[in-house]
Structure 1
């Protein structure tokens, strides 16, 4: 039986796969990674240094503190987006998480811009109204982790699946093989601790949709479960398990 080859693009040191690592292992996945954060910013980085598209059965694109538009300070973003376009041209399964969802959208020509407010912390996301039958099924509402300043436009040909009161575009679907999340269904306590550490150091977030760091540090284990299960279902959906 052919092994499922999963590759993930990682943009923050220590972030890893989040909750879905163990689930992918139950599917017998062979997991590899490209760690963009480890690349020198002045490196002449070529697309051929990334995996062969044919060797990837599922692409997972993780979050990050940078903007998809900041190609000057992170020149590898151009290469990453070129590779994503090459990969998606073959209609292969992909899931983007926060920055990852923005990268897929931007690689396909959609704009990524500053959201009207920053979102940080636990919040409610609602299922959008759509009539297409063969769509990934969101619950009517779900509590999820938000951690973003920017938002993606829905790519041409995609369907919006979820929204929140302060950010209209929270999840989109392209075909039946691509899902782009604005929120973080993969969040675990360990990953949240990394996010909190970054925020305490950089002090990026402020505004009405920001949850206090002291409250986030007291997040309970059951708060992570819904999002983690949703991501497992998303993996099944794009793989057609």
Structure 2
């Protein structure tokens, strides 16, 4: 798409845009962002402060440590979800990554709740079987980065594309223009370092699907490639390319 206008919603300082920044720049995209983490909590933030929906060709909703349900502590969440609903009502392309996938699902009425297990680290996810029709295709098995304690239910009208034992809903598709990921295909070494530093401070994750921080610090460059490629393909897919 010529003169592609990409807007992303960012919820964590320093997280940036992950692996897709380079890909989008190669496409000649103009990239803008709303940095929700930088908004003062007492700010009277309104939907009109966000971009006009008509001025966005692709929305990417990034991850975050907060819950989509924590509107009391993060009042901008309600505004963000309202904007997402307005945007999706126009059948425009969108990708949600972890919290972003939860936000899109929740904006469309699907509950987001505690998952029975926390997931943190490299893990396998598997393509859901018996899908009839045209859907975004992923390998039967892929190894990706996980970093979540909550999960979404599949929104009404969406189709589940991926799953694993720890978390039933890993990826969903709505129409041909929306993909919501529970895992982090955009993960880069820089972003992983930020996540590790945060976990060292707060020690949020425990359980059988949680990888040790030392193992994560030893992650190799090749481990990021498969997820990054899936995200690149996902962007092309929702753009109809």
Which residue of the partner structure matches residue 170 of structure 1? 170
Cα offsets for 1:181-224 (capped at 9, x unmatched): 00000000000000001101111101110000000000000000
Corresponding residue for 2:12? 12
Distance 1:19 1:130 in 2: 30
Q: Where does residue 38 of structure 1 map in the other structure?
A: 38
Task: Answer yes or no: is 1:49 the counterpart of 2:49.
Answer: yes
Note the alpha carbon deviations across 1:87-127, whole angstroms, 9 max, x for none.
Answer: 00000000000000000000000000000010000000000
CA RMSD of aligned residues (A): 0.8
Q: CA contact under 8 A between 1:130 and 1:161: conserved in structure 2? A: no
1:161 and 2:153 correspond:
no
Q: Would the aligned equivalents of 1:6 and 1:29 in 2 still touch at CA under 8 Å?
A: yes
Alpha-carbon deviation of 1:12?
0.3
Gaps of 5+ in 1: none
Equivalent residue number for residue 86 of structure 2: 86
Q: How does 1:13-28 map to 2 (within 5 A)?
A: 13-28=13-28
The structure 1 segments of at least 4 consecutive aligned residues displaced by more than 3 Å after TM superposition are none
SS of aligned partner of 2:121 = strand
Name the structure 1 match of 2:148: 148
Question: Do 2:2 and 2:28's aligned partners in 1 also have CA atoms closer than 8 Å?
Answer: no
Aligned length: 241
TM superposition shift of 1:130: 3.4
Contact 1:10 1:61 in 2 (8 A): yes
Per the alignment, residue 108 of structure 1 pairs with 108
